[in-house]
């Protein structure tokens, strides 16, 4: 009964705020789509590189077993794809939390778009440039935005 009430409440909340919720969660969709772009980019570069290096796919079943045989730019795309499954999970959770609990305001939306923009720039720098310090600076800025988002929610909910 308790789970049914929770599910009904969440569904009611989403239904009541469907237009606002859709707009608020758009940055989530943008980052999901960017992750899928990176997935396409990864396989568009990895499959030809594996063929050129004569790597049997069956020999590559464990991550990193053939990394030394692929060019750095091909590895960078795969590394970035993996990175898009790490820290952004905190972003996704924060956005859903804010959307479901009343934190979907303009500031949070602007922070969300800022975070997504920084993740896209981070991807492009990681794939197209060997400048690790620049990439780290962009990552750090995105992390700061994420901390601000989390702090905003903590203040809203607990203080």
The domain total for the chain is 1
What's this model's pTM, rounded to 2 decimal places?
Answer: 0.87
List, for residues 120-144, the tens digit of each pLDDT value. Answer: 999 999 999 999 999 999 999 999 9
What pLDDT score was predicted for residue 146? 98
- Position 63 in a domain: yes
- Position 8 in a domain: no
Q: What angle do CA 120, 121, 127 make, to 5 degrees?
A: 90
Residue 99, pLDDT > 90, answer: yes
- Position 130 in a domain: yes
Residues 6 or more apart in contact with residue 98 via CB below 8 angstroms? 24, 104, 108, 149, 153
Residue 51, pLDDT > 60, answer: yes
């Amino acid at each position: 009964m308790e789970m049914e009430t929770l599910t009904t409440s969440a569904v009611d909340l989403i239904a009541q705020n469907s237009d606002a919720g859709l707009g608020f969660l758009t940055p989530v969709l943008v980052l999901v789509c960017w992750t899928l772009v990176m997935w396409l980019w990864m396989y568009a570069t990895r499959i030809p590189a594996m063929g050129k290096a004569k790597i049997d796919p069956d020999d590559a079943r464990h991550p990193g077993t053939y990394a030394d045989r692929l060019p750095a730019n091909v590895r960078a795309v795969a590394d970035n794809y993996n990175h898009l499954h790490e820290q952004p999970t905190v972003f996704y959770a924060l956005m859903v939390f804010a959307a479901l609990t009343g934190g979907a305001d303009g500031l949070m939306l602007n922070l969300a778009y800022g975070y997504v923009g920084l993740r896209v720039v981070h991807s492009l720098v990681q794939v197209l440039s060997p400048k690790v310090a620049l990439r780290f600076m962009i990552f750090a800025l995105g992390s700061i935005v994420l901390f601000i988002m989390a702090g905003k929610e903590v203040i809203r909910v607990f203080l």
